[in-house]
């Protein structure tokens, strides 16, 4: 289902591939103007060029608060405001047991997956309120509510992201700003291309649906939450996981 985003200005981080790219494409198809931000500026530019002048690209490292502030300022300068934001940028991090997790890697993972979302909301929220209100969707994970051995940093960041989303929703819901989180299961994106067949089959087996999800399915839920059809939904964490969390 295509939603009507005509007249809306959107910002998507992690927009160069996978879920982020799918969100950008669905927003643009609905008529939104979109700033597609990614640490890979060339890939973000390729996405933008494939969609026409309605979409523009920006290189940004969301773990840098000054870069995030510039990102939101750039969106306002290029399009005139901000109504919709999808904070999707994230990294997986090392797979190590908790006591063996390097401090540098811990801070790197939280720097992108948690601090980057906080920085984004810190600057997006005033811009959205100044534009008359809107919606934020933060990309969590099934690991925002489940554990995963060897992924302490990632799991900690995603659990915290869900809590931060709920707190922010309580703070701003009366001011015309809805804030929700989406929790994808394992999604068939370029991040899994290096996985061998046995490991891939093991991931599939964790999902009662018998397959991995697609970026387009996650984008469809995300865009529903961004749309006016979800006007009474805020402070929620929505799974799209093929039954993974019901096991």
- Contact residues for 92 (Cβ-Cβ < 8 A; gap 6+): 109, 151, 154, 191
Packing angle, helices 41-51 and 18-29, rounded to 10: 30
* Marked catalytic residue, from 154, 172, 200, 237: 154
Neighbour tally for 236: CB within 10 Å: 16
Is residue 154 annotated as part of the catalytic site, yes or no? yes
Which residues are catalytic, by number? 154
């Amino acid at each position: 289902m295509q939603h009507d985003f005509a007249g809306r200005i959107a910002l998507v981080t992690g927009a160069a591939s996978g879920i982020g790219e799918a969100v950008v494409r669905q927003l643009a198809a609905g008529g939104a103007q979109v700033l597609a931000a990614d640490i890979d500026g060339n890939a973000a530019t390729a996405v933008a060029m494939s969609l026409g002048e309605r979409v523009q690209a920006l290189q940004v490292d969301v773990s840098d608060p000054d870069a995030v502030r510039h990102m939101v300022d750039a969106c306002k300068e290029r399009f005139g405001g901000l109504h919709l934001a999808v904070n999707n940028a994230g990294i997986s991090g090392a797979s190590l047991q908790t006591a063996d997790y390097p401090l540098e890697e811990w801070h790197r993972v939280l720097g992108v997956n948690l601090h980057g979302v906080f920085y984004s909301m810190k600057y997006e929220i005033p811009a959205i309120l100044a534009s008359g209100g809107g919606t934020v969707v933060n990309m969590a994970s099934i690991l925002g509510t489940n554990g995963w051995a060897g992924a302490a940093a990632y799991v900690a960041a995603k659990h915290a992201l869900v809590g931060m989303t709920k707190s922010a929703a309580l703070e701003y819901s009366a001011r015309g700003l809805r804030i929700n989180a989406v929790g994808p299961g394992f999604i068939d994106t370029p991040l899994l291309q290096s996985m061998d067949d046995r490991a891939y089959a093991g991931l599939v087996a964790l999902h009662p649906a018998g397959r991995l999800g697609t970026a387009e399915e996650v984008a469809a839920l995300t865009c529903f939450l961004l749309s006016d059809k979800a006007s009474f939904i805020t402070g929620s964490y929505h799974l799209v996981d093929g039954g993974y969390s019901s096991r």
